[in-house]
Structure 1
Amino acid sequence: MELLRGAALLLLVAAVCWAQEDQSCTCANNKRTTSCTNRSGICECTSIGSQVTIQCDTLTSKCLLMKAEMAGLKKSGRRERPKYAYVDNDGIYDPDCENSGIFKARQCNGTSCWCVNSAGARRTEKSDTNLQCSELVRTSWIIIETKHAERSTAVDASHLKETIKTEFNTRYLLNRKYINDVVYENPYITIELKQNGSQKSGKDVDIADVAYYFEKDVKGDSLLQNGMLQINISGEPLKFDQALIYYVDEKPPEFSMKRLTAGVIAVIVVVILAIVAGIVVLVITRRRRGKYEKSEAKEMNEMQRELNP
């Protein structure tokens, strides 16, 4: 009898565990997922476009998010770039990701390849497929420049700073120690995130992922299931107009003069031509002045000879 009871108890426990593992769930921190299953209280899903399993109790890496977005763009037939592009980046592209979700150091698109940082931003010139990228350089400092829409009430800078820190902590799971500063100059807001490799633990979210989530919120394309970003200051919602993101890596980028835009090159050429033209005019003027002075001296000598025969 005891054996039967023990067997029945084991079957009951197994059934409960099986039911819990097969229970469907919703990924709170990533909309771009499929095949979600609750395993031991943690929602695990498959990231669209890469088939990588992610855990939904934290942020998904930027690389996997970009890959999922590209999968959606290809499916819908859209090919245009996003409205807001990254500074020092080429906008959205279909990245190669490691199994851990981070960017591979070398990214390619057809016949051209380039090296990226840990935020996926291009840090070298585009080259052919023979390009080698020895390491994935870490982005340790991210500067987010944004501004808010017109308001009927003034914004208290200290209140705004504390509210943004709290929101980044609760919404994006970012430890407050990585929010270096929040500066407000009406209507512009600058948010500085700093996180070097030695500071970041395995449980900490990456500042590059946080910046990407925030940018998506500003663009009205939130990746979170709990709706859009809502920040209230003095009883009035703070609506963000745009976001510009700058990446500072642990090693300087490796761009050359080739990266200068045609407009910048044209300005440089015009300046150089103006300098050359100025030098030419100066030389010609000095030569003419010299000839005039010689001629004047000759005439004076002749006049003196006539007066003193």
Structure 2
Amino acid sequence: MELLRGAALLLLVAAVCWAQQDQGCTCAKNKRTSNCIGNDTGCWCTSIGSEVSVRCDKLTSKCLLMKAEMAGSKSGRREKPKHAYVDNDGIYDPDCENSGIFKARQCNGTSCWCVNTAGARRTEKSDADLQCSELVRTSWIIIETKHSERSTAVDASRLKESIKNEFKERYSLDPKYISDVVYENPYITIELKQNVSQKSAQDVDIADVAYYFEKDVKGDSLIQSGTLNINISGEPLKFDQALIYYVDEKPPEFSMKRLTAGVIAVIVVVILAIVAGIIVLVITRKRRGKYEKAEAKEMNEMQRELNP
């Protein structure tokens, strides 16, 4: 009898564990997931578009988020550092490693290019023979945003503290990675710095944080519950836009080919205008010289006539 009771108890425990392991859950940090399963380690879901399992109490990598977005789609300020650049290509369907990070080389049809750890293109587009020797780390991200009109003034010192607290609460970013917050009404510049030696396995990547923030500002939040909530003097701070600059550990490899046809046309017009100006100046000086010589000759002849 005791043996039967023990077996029944064991079956009951196994059934409870099985039920807990297969319990459905909601991915708190990523809306673009499916097949969510909760177990004793938390909620795990499949990232749409890549079939990679992600842990839902942490930020999902930017590469997997971009891939999920493509799978679901139909198709005041301070001078920036010398090598800072903006990702002008927008979203694309990226190739991701199993760990979720970007592969160093990305391709779209017959065009290929190299990217940084934020997935931003850092070389010219080339053919399929392009080789990318390494995934260069983005160690400095500059977020430039601005707030809408307010009835109360913004206290710069309180703003910095509020942003650090909200980034820690919402994105799990350690405040030490927010190196500076500069306020120039209405512009706000948030600087994130994180080199490879600083980042531990438990730390979120600043590239992922910047992407989540950009989505929050655009009203396309990836987080299930709540919204970006930064209050200054009891009034919510509403953001109008966000522009992200990337500074890599190695300078990008762009050339003049990166300039658009319109920019090149403007440069050509300016150069032609300068050349034309130089030509006019040279001709004018030559004519003036001839006139001065003729005038001097006439004066000499007049003096000889007056003094025979």
Fold match by TM threshold 0.5: yes
- Counterpart of 1:124 in structure 2: which amino acid? T
Distance 1:270 1:17, change over 3 A: same
Matched, 1:154 2:153: yes
Distance of 2:41 and 2:295 partners within structure 1: 102
Distance of 1:237 and 1:299 partners within structure 2: 84
TM-score (norm 1): 0.91
The one-character-per-residue Cα deviations of 1:117-166 (angstroms, maximum 9, x if unpaired) are 11011111111111111111110001111111111112221111111100
Q: Do the aligned residues in 2 keep the contact of 1:146 with 1:243 (CA within 8 Å)?
A: yes
Partner of 1:134: 133
Distance of 2:307 and 2:244 partners within structure 1: 85
Alignment of 1:50-89 (within 5 A): 50-74=50-74, 79=75, 87-89=86-88
Matched, 1:23 2:23: yes
Q: SS state of the match for residue 86, structure 2?
A: coil
Q: Which moved more, 1:270-279 or 1:184-193?
A: 270-279
Distance of 2:157 and 2:307 partners within structure 1: 92
Q: Do the aligned residues in 2 keep the contact of 1:63 with 1:102 (CA within 8 Å)?
A: yes
Q: Which moved more, 1:246-255 or 1:226-235?
A: 226-235
Q: Do the aligned residues in 2 keep the contact of 1:220 with 1:228 (CA within 8 Å)?
A: no
Partner of 2:41: 41
How many Å apart are 1:278 and its aligned residue?
1.9
Partner of 2:258: 259
Partner of 2:81: none
Partner of 2:79: none
Q: Which moved more, 1:213-222 or 1:87-96?
A: 87-96
- Counterpart of 1:41 in structure 2: which amino acid? T
Q: What RMSD, in angstroms, separates the aligned Cα atoms of the two structures?
A: 1.8
- Counterpart of 1:159 in structure 2: which amino acid? R
How many Å apart are 1:5 and its aligned residue?
4.9
Distance of 1:42 and 1:34 partners within structure 2: 15
Q: SS state of the match for residue 102, structure 1?
A: coil
Distance 1:298 1:156, change over 3 A: closer
How many Å apart are 1:8 and its aligned residue?
3.9
How many Å apart are 1:2 and its aligned residue?
5.7
Partner of 1:111: 110
Distance of 2:169 and 2:8 partners within structure 1: 44
Distance of 1:176 and 1:302 partners within structure 2: 89
How many Å apart are 1:306 and its aligned residue?
4.6
Q: Do the aligned residues in 2 keep the contact of 1:95 with 1:107 (CA within 8 Å)?
A: yes
Partner of 1:188: 187
Q: Which moved more, 1:7-16 or 1:43-52?
A: 7-16
Q: Do the aligned residues in 2 keep the contact of 1:175 with 1:204 (CA within 8 Å)?
A: yes
Partner of 1:83: none
Partner of 2:82: none
Q: Do the aligned residues in 2 keep the contact of 1:113 with 1:131 (CA within 8 Å)?
A: yes
Partner of 1:120: 119
Partner of 2:210: 211
Alignment of 1:86-101 (within 5 A): 87-101=86-100
How many Å apart are 1:298 and its aligned residue?
3.7
Structure 1 unaligned residues grouped into runs of 5+: 80-85
How many Å apart are 1:10 and its aligned residue?
3.5
The one-character-per-residue Cα deviations of 1:241-266 (angstroms, maximum 9, x if unpaired) are 11111111100000001111233323
The one-character-per-residue Cα deviations of 1:168-220 (angstroms, maximum 9, x if unpaired) are 00100001110111111221111110000110011110000000000110011
TM-score (norm 2): 0.91
- Counterpart of 2:18 in structure 1: which amino acid? W
Q: SS state of the match for residue 271, structure 2?
A: helix
Aligned length, in residue pairs: 299
Partner of 1:268: 267
Q: Do the aligned residues in 2 keep the contact of 1:47 with 1:64 (CA within 8 Å)?
A: yes
Alignment of 1:233-248 (within 5 A): 233-248=232-247
Distance of 2:27 and 2:173 partners within structure 1: 18
Q: SS state of the match for residue 73, structure 1?
A: coil
Q: Which moved more, 1:133-142 or 1:9-18?
A: 9-18
Partner of 1:13: 13
Partner of 2:281: 282
How many Å apart are 1:109 and its aligned residue?
1.0
How many Å apart are 1:3 and its aligned residue?
4.8
- Counterpart of 2:184 in structure 1: which amino acid? E
